Structure 1
Amino acid sequence: MLNSNEVHPPELFTAAFTHNPYPDYKKLRHAFPIYKVVFPSGEPGWIISKYNHAVEVLKDSRFSKDMVKRYGPESRSVFTNNMLFSDPPDHRRLRGLVQKAFTPKMIAGMRSHIEDIANDLLDQVSGREQMNLIDDYAFPLPIIVISEILGVPLEDRDKFRTWSNTIIGSGNEDAATFQQHAKEFIDYLRDWFAQVRQNPGKDLISELLMAEEAGDQLTEEELYGVVTLLIIAGHETTVNLIGNGMLALMEHPEQKELLLQHPEYIHNAIEEMLRYNGPVEFSTSRWASEDIDFHGHSIAKGDLVIVALDSANRDEEQFGDADVFDITKEKSPHLAFGTGIHLCLGAPLARLEGEIAIQTLLRRYPHIALAAKPEELEWRPGMIVRGVKEIPVTLR
């Protein structure tokens, strides 16, 4: 076993790290499993890289999600006024208001419609030799689905992609661009909500605007926060599940052939894709609400703590042959969607969309192959999502 006296800490957040962080994650897990760093934002904090430590942090209520408790009311923005950045009891109230749209029964009932969307998108590239897997398929499929759930006009989906990239910090925009996109987004939502109030439909936004639950109603700011979370989380995770999952299959053609021969493996295949190169690389921020002795490390009250989810999912102590992509593995307790009270509400929908998207693509284009060298692909910057900007593929 390596220890911190024998090796130097890895250099994180570089271009090389973004392209392939897994060797550095292995070094962290072995020698620096609870590691203090300065994040790209300039703020110091801790990275948790081992699986068992990650589960502890994600379930420990002493690690708060509410930035207002750490930085004061001025720190809260419309983009963080939602259940992902709240503690109980606010978390329970906000989650309860939206989870009605993500019940297993409702999601299961969407299967045939999602299959139609997948086939329609592939019809649009019919006859072409190549396509961009992200722009032509992985992005539009989940944005169409979440747009329909929320009631977002489909013609505005490209605007939401731009705003989404800005909000999650994956586009490296400057402050002026961020402010501009933030204003455009809020102005859009304000006008949209006004229209829905006049003519409510059967979508989730209409329900949220009209309904009172347990005598409580979302404030305007909470509505912005909830919609932001659902639009971003509702498609970003699935875009990169489809992209990263297909990339893993194309880089492991024997696994792609196995899935073609045994389509019943799709459920295990999706779980392995989520574990092997998950779409959410790091958890969102947590802050120690008190001084905590965490496995021999003194985490001070107010310290920022972030879990490296993709590192935890490659922990050799938890997963046998952790660096091997094998779709026959039994369903694993990976952390791609987190765990604890903040377990991703949309995880069942993301799984279903990923399953349908990949099965439909392989059924229609069984010879799909990567049309670039893996090292030529450009991975998106930013700490939350892990995905490739473009994936050129040959269809036949």
Structure 2
Amino acid sequence: RTSGDGPGAGAISSEQVTVTDSTISGNGSGATVGGIVASDDIEIVGSVLADNVGATAGAIDSGLSLSTVHTTISGNRAPLAAAIAARSGQANLEATTVADNLGLDTAPVDPQRSSILVGDAAAPTDAELILASTFVGAASAGTPACVLATAGSNVASEWYNADSDDTCDLVHPTDLPGIGDPELVPLADNGGPTQTRLPSAWSALKDHIPSGAYLCSPGDVSQNGLSLPQGPGCEIGAAERPAATALYGTVTETGTGVPLAGIQVRVRTSANTYVAATTTGADGRWYVGGLAPGDYKVLFRDATKNHQQIFNGSAAMFGAAAPITVAAGDELVTDQAMMFTPAISGTVTETGTGTPLGGIQVRARTLANTFVGATTTAADGTYALHLPPGTYKLVFTDPTGTHIAEWYADKPGFAKATAVTHVDATTTANAQLTPITG
């Protein structure tokens, strides 16, 4: 609901507030905080505060103390503290995800605009922000994750925290300051009583907390209702990825590092039995889950033939690829670079008439007369033969037997054929075939 311009919060205003397994979303206040305000204590467990809008703080404006455990704070908006204003006392955030809250523009922009504001410069009062197994993201570009409003305020990192922009004074050896994008999927039903934001397989938050650590021990439960840990470790933040047996990775171009979209990824057993397939996205990423424990090999293939087909570990052939052993619950990364293969291309026409010839077989051989590749001309006589940089000899053959076969350029055999050399750009090699008459 919206409280308008009165003194109350958009959702809850009280001296003391306790929230468990609840959703506080879509509330607004034109005077104070969009979500919860309390003069004394606020305790939040297993809950989500999302998409609330306030005039001072987006989600929470705390008084003497604040405690959040296994809680997600996402998508809230305010001109000062987009997520939390911890004005005095202590704010303890444990296994909490604070992400993608937005610092609203004002004229002028408040110099203390942040995701979490610690202390109150107007009062003035000092506050302490204590973090454990928590991620704090910046409140939009150029707006810090954490700001200390007074000289006496501070942030204390206990262990296994992360922030996006290195503004939360994360100095514990287990911390991950300034990780940038945490790779969180959008707010969704991932199990449990409330929505959460799971780290993706590529997230730096994934499995960072070792099994047995505080909030990552048998008996602990994540916000999305999973027993901890699910994998070799626990995720930083409120939600845990479910255990999965999978292979995943990113495909890039050799040399440039550019992500390759549309690459076919095929997973096979070490006995060469097909298991699963997928295609890389615009970011070059792929993921194949639901695997049984075992040994696998992965083929990467560019349907456009602009990049050389390759197996995991940059092996050229299936037999040369090292098996990837996947145990139950393993999510193993298998990145791969693929070499750009420039094309030898051209048009095959009929001698005398210039008529394009479709269906002509074009074969390439090395100077040692080793076969390396073949293709067939299209109906308009054009072809493109993608090969690694090198020097080759080409032979053009009409399988219908109506034209005389020839080697490039208009030579009768391999020994006299003109070699074609290409390096990093398309090389043109046209041919004219003489019709067989009489």
| Short-chain TM bin | under 0.3
- Computing the radius of gyration from Cα coordinates, the structure with the larger value is 2
Higher RCO, 1 vs 2 (CA within 8 Å, ≥6 residues apart): 1
Query: Higher strand share goes to which structure?
Result: 2
**TM-score normalized by structure 2?**
0.20
**TM-score normalized by structure 1?**
0.22
